[in-house]
Amino acid sequence: MASSSIIVIGASAGGVGALRFLAAALPDTFPAPVLVVLHIGAHRSELPKLLNAAGPLLANHTEDGETIHPGRIYVAPPDRHMIVADGRLRLLRGPKENCARPAIDPLFRSVAEHYGADAVGVILTGNLNDGTLGLLEIKRRGGIAIAQAPDDAAYPDMPKSAAAHVALDYCPPLAEMPKLLIELVNGKDGKDRAMPISSFQPASGQSPELTEARTFARPLTVTCPECGGALKKFEVGSIIKFGCHIGHSYTAEVMAGAQFEEMEKVMRAAVRFLNERAEFCLQMADHTQLAEHAPSADWLAASRQALDRAYKLRDLVEQDWLTPESIGRVASASNGSAPLAE
């Protein structure tokens, strides 16, 4: 690596402590810029202040159009994707990726495109798998792919996903990462790097059981949980990705979780509507009874029917549901790993 190197770091749950550790351990002579994305959504962030207090490198929330300088830490601000374009940092309020804005993948992709072999991508602690596709792109273009050792991470999902789908150059514990980054940007690591990319062959799934011979036709497509647009499936290396024409994108695991959350929200809304219908019909029954109108019994029957179906639907919503995206975590826990806390 040369002095024109750039370091990009992605983190989520548990990331504040990990980033503070890195900031404290990097010297004030560090010869490369460091670009950081932490999943903070639209919430206020004090991360630059924390990093400034931890170490000698100046950290700040990126401003749109800012020039990139070595020896600085640039942090994606709340609710904005940070990318590199034409040698500058740009902030975009584009569609969320993997349910996050800022997201890690957009930054990593842009750095891979503009820096190629001079890019160093680092995935730290976090849930799910944002950053894996971006790290794969850095690797494809000759850059260096690093992930924190999963058993060293407070939340191992993100580094574990990176290790499963990207041919990592390094997978060290956090304590060894500052020394590694210093060696890399100074060109002293001396390691030969290969770039194998594994292939993915989806397993054939079984069709769901048919109930009482009443079947639904298969949908023409799966829709986006965020906007309802049609989703297209892509295979990038060993990662399955879904994207809509608006620009929302999801890895399969994130898509499964977002789809389930939207489904539960819709079903609970239906419970609310049924309960409100029951109340409306009861009020109309009271009114017609006072006015000595004949339909009073019909209103009461409609109220009881709506309330009965509200209870049934509520019971259905509150049953245990299979969530394949979490099965890997359960399997890991049964093999001796601790289950993850969301």
**5, 39, 45, 81: which one is catalytic?**
39
Q: Which of 12, 45, 110, 249 is catalytic?
A: 12
The dihedral sign for the CA sequence 314, 315, 316, 322? positive
Whether 334 is catalytic: no
Q: Give the type of residue at 41.
A: G
> What would the DSSP string read from start to end of 146-170?
EE--GGGSSS-HHHHHHHHHS--SB
State phi, psi for 6 to the nearest 5 degrees: -135, 140
Q: Is 39 part of the annotated catalytic residue set?
A: yes
Contact predicate 132/161, CB 8 Å = yes
Give the whole-angstrom CA distance, residue 37 versus residue 137.
17
State how far the Cα of 11 lies from the Cα of 159, in Å rounded to an integer. 9
Q: Of 105, 118, 130, 157, which is the active-site residue? A: 130
- Rounded Cα distance between 202 and 238, Å, is 9
Beta bridge partners of 67: 88
Helix or strand (DSSP H, E) at 143 = none
Has 308 been annotated as catalytic?
A: no
Residue 303's identity, in one-letter code, is S
Residues serving a catalytic function are 12, 39, 130
